[in-house]
Amino acid sequence: MKIIVHIATQTLELLDNSGAVLRRYSISTGKNGVGEESGSYCTPRGKHIIRAKIGGEQPENSVFVRRRPTGEIYTPALGAAHPGRDWILTRILWLSGKELGYNRLGNCDTMRRYVYIHGTPDETELGVPGSRGCVRMRNADLLELFELVVSGVEVEVIA
């Protein structure tokens, strides 16, 4: 299996080993565009792997901070009470770059930048860039993807 994130179309595809598309999801990537530098809040390009799957035992809409569940369950009322908060919900697929000097190690390390594929509130617009560098997905879509992939699956981000 392999995941391809298409920046231009704001879609994520899950492919089988023959390259056939198994699933296609609408996503949202970095509002600041693409880029690998730490602190840029851009979505890093290139080849990555899923380094870790986090939150498998948590209920849908669980809120995560620093990869830990807070015990909160997201609701629109909670969102309204905390405007501007970058909501990381439901599950986390933590990415790690594979290309030395491009998205791995140094000032461009995807994993040290804490770039994830993660859930987002249902009212968040997808199909347009809007994240702080992560790949946002609908919670129901992320739950499905989370069950279909394992740690180590390749993720390629294409501009």
Q: How far apart are CA 132 and CA 86, in angstroms?
A: 8
- CA atoms within 13 A of residue 10's CA, in its CB half-sphere: 18
Asked if 87 and 93 count as a contact pair (C-beta separation under 8 A), the reply is: no
Q: What is the CATH number of domain 2-158?
A: 2.40.440.10
pTM above 0.85, yes or no: yes
Q: At a CB cut-off of 8 Å and minimum separation 6, what does 125 contact? A: 28
- Give me the amino acid identity at 120: T
Pick the closest to residue 146 from 83, 33, 57 (CA basis): 57
Q: What is the pLDDT along the chain (159 residues), one digit of tens a residue?
A: 999 999 999 999 999 999 999 999 999 999 999 999 999 999 999 999 999 999 999 999 999 999 999 999 999 999 999 998 999 999 999 999 999 999 999 999 999 999 999 999 999 999 999 999 999 999 999 999 999 999 999 999 999
Question: How do the domains of the chain map onto residue ranges?
Answer: 2-158
